Amino acid sequence: MSAATGEYPVPVSPPYPAASKDVELRRAMTASARSAAYSSAPVVFEDEWLAVVDKPAGVYCDALLSALPCSAATLGDEATKPNLHLANRLDRDTSGLMVITKCNKVAGKLVKVFTEHKVKKTYLALCIGYPPAWEKIKICSGHGRSKHGAWRVYAMSDVGRSLPGGSVVRDMSTRFEVLGINGKGQFREPSNFEVDETESITVQEKAADLTSDGDEKNSIILVRAYPQSGRTHQIRLHCQYLGFPIRGDVKYSGVIEWNGVDYDGHALHAESLSFVHPVTGLPVTFRSPLPSWANEFISTMA
């Protein structure tokens, strides 16, 4: 529709809750202090061209550049120091794998690989909500900013339409598999969704208004996400839309207090990365150690 008439597409996910503003401000201030003091990033892999590091939750990505504990990054004169770049980014409260390149040429190659979605990624998320009836699913929707700047889910039929501020609705797609619900399930290695038959959802309207007389809406669900695109807050938005927002994700309907504990961030972890090395041409796969909340849930699974 014409922007002049104000007929922009209507998002199908809810706006940020009023309480999120104060919570997000407090978390941002805490993360700024943590990031300023952050001094040593755990290195999962390193060679002369790049390093793969394990970002903790509650730390901004840019803090990793000065916290890379490799001799090339911290020693030597300015002429021999590498030019460090972040090849990918994670949300402030998301933990897990990030890639840091050491020269402009490699940075350009690897950023291109990420932006063209040629990197296979998996994430783990601990969610509180309605238990899904499916084991595996693919969800496709639109993605964009609403008039107040919030990221929202849009119908697939709105992809390409103009949004306030001059942007447009873009497509996003995520595959999910359920690993456990309320302590029942089995943790397993990532699946090959390219060969698995998977139920598919194409978002065209607002999510169903789920209601329950019991405790179903308070189920604890561990899911693995396989993002097929790289949109901002993609997994968080799709979890919200599917009825099980990520624990602690105040922006997207997640509970911040659970069983008497207040959480200072969301339970989302970048578990693995697979791509072709930009210099050697060899396929590489990296895995991050599981965060404590994942290990705690897995330990309860029967």
**Residue 85 to residue 68: CA distance in whole angstroms:** 11
Q: Are 224 and 177 in contact (CB under 8 A)?
A: yes
**CATH code at 283?**
3.30.2350.10
pLDDT of residue 71: 47
Instruction: Look at residue 8 and tell me if it is in a domain.
Output: no
Kindly list the distances between the CA atom of residue 77 and the CA atoms of 45, 72, 81, 82, 141, in Å, as whole numbers in the listed order.
Answer: 24, 10, 6, 10, 49
Task: State how many domains the chain has.
Answer: 1
Q: What is the DSSP letter of 176?
A: E
pLDDT in the model for residue 5: 44
In a domain, 1, yes or no: no
Provide the pLDDT for residue 72: 45
Task: Domain of residue 124: give its range.
Answer: 19-300
- Tens-place pLDDT, residues 158-196: 999 999 988 999 999 999 999 999 999 999 988 876 656
Respond yes or no: is residue 249 known to be catalytic: no
Q: What is the pLDDT of residue 82?
A: 79
Query: Do the domain assignments include residue 207?
Result: yes
- How high is the mean pLDDT in each 10-residue block of the chain (302 residues)? 65 93 96 95 94 97 87 50 90 97 92 90 97 95 92 97 93 97 92 71 81 72 96 97 97 92 95 96 96 95 77
Question: What is the structure's pLDDT at 222?
Answer: 98
Does residue 220 form part of some domain?
A: yes
Residue pLDDT, tens place only, 251-292: 999 999 998 899 999 999 999 999 999 999 999 999 999 999
How many angstroms separate the CA atoms of 137 and 197, rounded? 9
Biggest CA-to-CA distance, the chain: 67
Q: What is the structure's pLDDT at 195?
A: 56
Whole-number pLDDT of residue 301 = 87
* pLDDT of res. 217: 83
Assigned domain for 32 exists: yes
Whether residue 252 is contained in a domain is answered as yes
The active-site residue out of 47, 54, 62, 91 is 91
> Could you give phi then psi for residue 121, rounded to 5 degrees?
-130, 145
Q: Say what the pTM is.
A: 0.92
| Residues 247/266, Cβ–Cβ less than 8 Å | yes
- Is 11 part of any domain? no
